[in-house]
Amino acid sequence: RTNPAIQKLPPGPAKLPVIGNFHQIRGNLLHQSLWEISKQYCPFMHLKLGQVSAVVVSSATLARDVLKTFDLACCSRPHNVATSELSYDGSDIAFMPYGEGWRQLRKLCTVEFFSPRKFNSFMSVREHEIARMARHISSRISGSLAINVSELALCFSCNTTCRTAFSGDIAGDDLSIYGVLKEAQEMLASFFVADFFPLLGWVDVATGMKSRLRKSFLEIDGIYQKFIDRHLDAKSGSGSEENEDLLDNIFIGGTDTSSAVVEWVMAELIRLPELMKRAQEEETMRLHPPVPMLIHREKMNSVTLCGEYQIPPKTTIYVNAWAIGRDPDAWERPEVFDPDRFVNMVSPGVNSFAHYDFKLIPFGEGRRICPGKNMGILMAELALANLLYSFDWQLPQGMRAEDVSMEEAPGITVHRKHALCLMAAKSEAN
Ligand code: HEM
């Protein structure tokens, strides 16, 4: 400690030598575990995870500090084993550290890929995928078969993203892509010893985690290669310089986030059928933000947060959006799924999240805010509107609302642990 004033860190649980606070992390759902610890200590706490110094933010006021007031100082990304392997050593937009390279890439994506003009030009893709989804449901209805809503939602958003991004229907005819995607998601949220104890990297080799990660990379890389080859073939065939798709590595970000929203909305609604017709995805994103801890950030410069704590550079920042959505200081009866709480607050729409003053941040905020926000919301809304308007949904025979498990599966995007299977009938309203 050279200067005690500079070293003043937020409070946190007592740390053990070497492992720090690892013994307090329970289970494999980090957002839930950190929420439990922060309830005992403080919504702004310091943890030592092996050799990593981390702060955890679990309140809207502090999230505003990190994501808005001190956004520039807090908007880099930490280096870690899984993100490096799966993103060509942090060279994609989501995992690249802040700097000129990221700024250029983000600008390019915003103008070329995520602009409303580009987005609108893919309306026919979305309509095609909605029609495909409806046909699948109708075929299950005629055979009186249950529908795996989780899989259906994933197919819809995966196909829509692939066709938008790569002008190709690879996902549609090659179902293995969903498995590859799921594994990559799981890898991104998995525990690698080397991230916290750099000298013990051999443990990840011994446990097989390193080779599992390598396999995941090779599989996903194979898919990218297929997309690229197809893209180049199409371009050379047409002789056109103009590529009308969004070819790049938006694959993981764009595919299963929207589908996670759809499956959680359907699960909440099937337990409260009287709310089925008043679906509002804001409420679902409050209780089940698809990316519950946003993407971890890293501090670049020393700043004072919460008025008194000096956080040194290189500290990892976890913003627990999941905990903020359940914070009793921010929400009345936070555990209750009550879409009506949003009815009179703001008019729904793609920018409505800004009105909740950091209490509802499923897309993050600041420089690193999700650039696919509008696309994600529209895909989820489109899928839900069609599922709820065209069909009536019920639980399979013998199953009660209280039997619907709401357990979460680990991953950077949190899906349901158990797939949601429901019975559909043609809506009487149609
Ligand atoms: C409901 C749907 C979605 C949700 C909830 C969501 C959520 C998020 C979150 C929380 C972040 C991290 C923000 C931060 O660090 O503060 C993020 C980043 C990102 N998302 Fe999304 N997302 C969704 C859909 C999409 C779609 C459809 C795409 C692309 C097609 C996409 C592409 C990205 C990219 C490229 C980043 C990294 C941005 C950067 O680091 O500069 N997302 N998203």
- d(CA 196, CA 184) in angstroms, rounded, equals 20
Residue 300: inside a domain, yes or no?
A: yes
**What is the per-residue pLDDT for 169?**
62
CA–CA dist 290, 253 (Å, integer): 11
Q: Which atom of ligand 1 sits closest to the CA of residue 102?
A: 41
Q: Which long-range contacts (CB under 8 A, 24 or more apart) does 160-163 make?
A: 160/125, 160/126, 160/129, 160/379, 161/250, 161/251, 161/254, 161/255, 161/379, 162/227, 162/251, 162/255, 163/122, 163/125, 163/128, 163/129
Residue with tokens 């390598």: 214
Q: Name the amino acid, one letter, at 229.
A: D
Distance 378 CA to ligand 1 centre (A): 14
Confirm or reject: Cβ of 260 under 6 Å from ligand 1.
no
Residue 271: band (very low, low, confident or very high) from pLDDT cuts 50, 70, 90: confident
The candidate with the shortest Cα–Cα distance to 408, out of 152, 150, 101, 134, is 150
Residue 370 marked as a ligand binder:
yes
Instruction: Establish whether residue 424 lines the binding site of ligand 1, counting it when its CB lies within 6 angstroms of any ligand atom.
Output: no
Q: Which of 83, 227, 363 gets mutated to test ligand 1 (max ligand atoms within 8 A of its CB)?
A: 363
Q: pLDDT tens digit string along 214-250?
A: 999 999 899 888 878 877 777 666 555 444 555 545 5
| Domain range enclosing 331 | 22-426
Q: The pTM is what?
A: 0.89
pLDDT confidence of residue 342: 77
Q: Which of 202, 90, 166, 160 has its CA nearest to residue 379?
A: 160
pLDDT tens track for 92-110: 899 999 999 999 999 988 8
CB of 290 closer than 6 A to ligand 1? yes
Does any domain span residue 2?
no
Asked if residues 34 and 6 have their Cβ atoms less than 8 Å apart, the reply is no
How many angstroms separate the CA atoms of 414 and 257, rounded? 8
How many angstroms separate the CA atoms of 324 and 57, rounded?
A: 9
Q: Is 12 in the pocket of ligand 1 (CB under 6 A)?
A: no
Tell me, yes or no, whether 11 lies in a domain: no
User: From ligand 1's centre to the CA of 74, what distance in Å?
Assistant: 17
Asked if the structure places residue 8 within a domain, the reply is no
* 375 CB within 6 A, ligand 1: yes
Is any ligand 1 atom within 6 A of the Cβ of residue 325? no
Give the residue, by CA position, lying nearest to ligand 1 atom 29.
Answer: 254
pLDDT the model gives residue 250: 58
Q: Is residue 275 one of the residues assigned to a domain?
A: yes
| 253 CA → ligand 1 middle, Å | 6
In a domain, 173, yes or no: yes
- Residue 99 buriedness (CB in 10 A; 0-12 / 13-18 / 19+): exposed
Whether residue 15 lies inside any domain: the answer is no
Q: Is 429 exposed, middle or buried (0-12, 13-18, 19+ CB in 10 A)?
A: exposed
pLDDT at 83: 94
The rounded Å distance from CA 282 to ligand 1 centre is 16
Does the beta carbon of 388 lie inside 6 Å of ligand 1? no
What is 221-282 written as a DSSP string?
Answer: HHHHHHHHHHHHHHHHHHT-S---S--SS-HHHHHHHHHHHHHHHHHHHHHSGGGGGG--HH
Is 16 among the domain residues?
Answer: no
Strands (E), 93-242: 147-148
CATH at 91:
1.10.630.10
Ligand 1 centre from 371 Cα, in Å?
A: 6
DSSP structure class, residue 178: H
Taking the centre of ligand 1 as the mean of its atom positions, its distance from the CA of residue 145, in whole angstroms, is 34
- What residues contact 25, with CB distance under 8 A and at least 6 apart? 33, 34, 49
Q: Is the CB of 294 under 6 A from ligand 1?
A: yes
Number of domains the chain contains:
1
Bridge partners, residue 47, by sequence? 54
For helices 251-271 and 176-188, angle between their N-to-C axes, nearest 10 degrees:
90
Please name the residues in contact with 328: beta carbons below 8 A apart, sequence gap of 6 or more: 334
Using an 8 Å Cβ cutoff, are 256 and 227 in contact?
A: no
The pLDDT value recorded for residue 241 is 47
**What span, in angstroms and rounded, lies between the C-alpha atoms of 148 and 176?**
17
Task: Place 52 in a pLDDT band, splitting at 50, 70 and 90.
Answer: very high
364 CA from centroid of ligand 1 (Å): 8
